[in-house]
């Protein structure tokens, strides 16, 4: 049984790392989410979905590209909250009314907003200066939880 507060305990929550057919809490089925080419891998998506669910409220996504992380975030959100997705070029137009999805076409470095969010997923421009600006944007929006993608040049899973 999953922890009711959705905390992740690697010793108990091994289902997060398996090919689990039950994705009703941790994201859409893997067959719907292609991996590679810089996208969010299925295991990362399930963890993202879990954290969005754990930190309930409005969320900011910086860098959406094909919308894979967007789908995972929407799957984790309660219906009465909003996901604000900021990207220079949204390659896929997604629609969601519960939770509400706002796809904002803008440069996250110059994006100004009065948004109030509890968290931010940052996967935009990966240059140091741009990441610093994205962190500033998230903090100005009130984010207390920051999640980053592609932060290390090498990532391996212990087998």
DSSP string, 72-101: HHHHHS-TTSEEEEEES--SS----BTTEE
Domain with 21, as residue range(s), is: 14-148
Q: Each residue of 87-126: pLDDT tens digit?
A: 998 888 888 888 899 999 999 888 777 789 999 999 998 8
Alpha carbon 97 to chain centroid distance? Answer: 18
How confident is residue 32, by pLDDT bands cut at 50, 70 and 90?
Answer: low
In whole angstroms, how far apart are CA 34 and each of 66, 69, 92?
Answer: 10, 11, 14
Residue 5 domain flag: no
Residue 133 domain flag: yes
Residue 94 domain flag: yes
Residues 6+ apart with CB under 8 A from 157: 17, 43
Q: Is 157 helix (H, G, I), strand (E, B) or coil?
A: coil
Per-residue pLDDT averaged across 33-44, rounded? 64
Per-residue pLDDT averaged across 28-42, rounded? 57
Helix (H) or strand (E) holding 119: strand 119-122
| CATH code for the domain of 39 | 3.40.50.150
Residue 144 domain flag: yes
Residue 34 domain flag: yes
Residues 6+ apart with CB under 8 A from 38: 65, 150
Total domain count, the chain: 1
What pLDDT is attached to residue 85? 94
pTM over 0.95: no
Handedness of CA 64, 102, 70, 135 (dihedral sign): positive
Residue 7 domain flag: no
Instruction: Express as a percent the part of the chain with pLDDT over 90.
Output: 35
In whole angstroms, how far apart are CA 105 and each of 85, 95, 155, 157?
Answer: 8, 15, 30, 34
């Amino acid at each position: 049984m999953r922890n009711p507060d959705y905390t992740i305990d690697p010793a108990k929550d091994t289902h997060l790392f398996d090919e689990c057919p039950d994705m009703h809490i941790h994201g859409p089925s893997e067959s719907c989410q292609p991996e590679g080419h810089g996208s969010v891998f299925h295991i990362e998506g399930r963890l993202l979905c879990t954290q969005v669910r754990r930190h309930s409220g409005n969320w900011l996504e910086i860098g959406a590209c094909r919308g894979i992380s967007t789908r995972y975030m929407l799957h984790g959100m309660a219906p009465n909250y909003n996901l604000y997705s900021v990207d220079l070029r949204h390659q896929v137009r997604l629609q969601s009314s519960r939770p509400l999805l706002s796809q904002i076409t803008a440069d996250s470095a110059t994006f100004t907003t009065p948004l109030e969010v509890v968290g931010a997923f940052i996967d935009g421009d990966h240059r140091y200066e741009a990441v610093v600006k994205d962190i500033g944007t998230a903090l100005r929006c009130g984010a207390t939880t920051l999640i980053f993608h592609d932060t290390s040049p090498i990532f391996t899973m212990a087998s």
